[in-house]
Amino acid sequence: MANTSMEETVAESQYCKDLDPISKQRYTKLISKYVGSDPYVMKMSEFSTELRDLPAVEAVDITNYLVLQTSYYTRQQMKAYKSLEAYNFFVSGWVNHLGTKRLRDNHRLVFARVNHSQRSNETPLKTWIIAKEDGEVIAAHCNCMAGLSESCSHVGAVLFSIEAGVKMRDTASCTSEQCKWLIPSHVKKISAAPVALIDFSSAKSKKQKLDRSFEGRTPENPFQRVEMG
């Protein structure tokens, strides 16, 4: 009997089937090597929402992947401003249904839904990330128009969400109950509001505010509770 490779037998989503031949080969090679199944055919019940299961992604891991690592397709580095844009997506509450699945060889698959950049009222995008348990990011993908670059702003937003979850898990000054209120809650729809009620803070200032909250240097909890399920 002829040997059949995992790449030939892996369950494929319709998204995968619709890819051009070169992109499909790259996509199936990644999921075959690390996951064994297309994340886009998995159910959310297969993923854990417990913080203890998240890979230990830190700022240096995000920088290495988003800013320093070369894109497989464009062969160009992702510019630093893109990482700030991605952080703004995170603090704006565009990431939801974050879940983690343990893989072989101490790898983790993190799956999340992220609002569209320009069309927040449409069905959220699906984004997945493969990382080692120690936080090193191996690969990522999103079903947005720029997802084939493996480093779009939606991927960045999920990475920042993971980083925040890890800080919640590991910060001694933050009790489990207090930490539940630090991550930005999911925003399903952006409604009109008076200018006086709109937060025009930059992504950088929001990051500093969140970091201070994790470190217990401010009594305020500037964000609402995250929706994990």
pLDDT tens, N- to C-terminus, the chain (229 residues): 444 444 445 678 999 999 999 999 999 999 999 999 999 999 989 999 998 999 999 988 988 887 777 555 544 544 544 556 788 888 888 888 899 999 999 999 999 999 886 665 678 899 999 999 999 999 999 998 877 888 888 999 999 999 988 988 887 545 444 444 445 544 555 554 454 444 545 555 666 666 666 565 443 433 333 343 3
Question: 129: which strand partners?
Answer: 110, 140
Residue type, 78: M
Q: Give which of 143, 179, 153 is closest to 62, Cα–Cα.
A: 153
Q: Residues near 24 by Cβ (< 8 Å), separated by ≥ 6?
A: 16, 17
Rounded to two decimals, the pTM is 0.73
Q: Report strand pairing: 95-102 vs 107-114.
A: antiparallel
Helices 203-214 and 153-170, axial angle in degrees (round to 10): 20
Q: Residues near 11 by Cβ (< 8 Å), separated by ≥ 6?
A: 37, 38, 41
Give, in order, the Cα–Cα distances in Å from 116 to each of 1, 30, 55, 94, 204: 47, 24, 25, 8, 21
Instruction: Give the single-character DSSP code of 66.
Output: I
CA atoms of 26 and 22, how far apart (whole Å): 6
SS3 116: coil
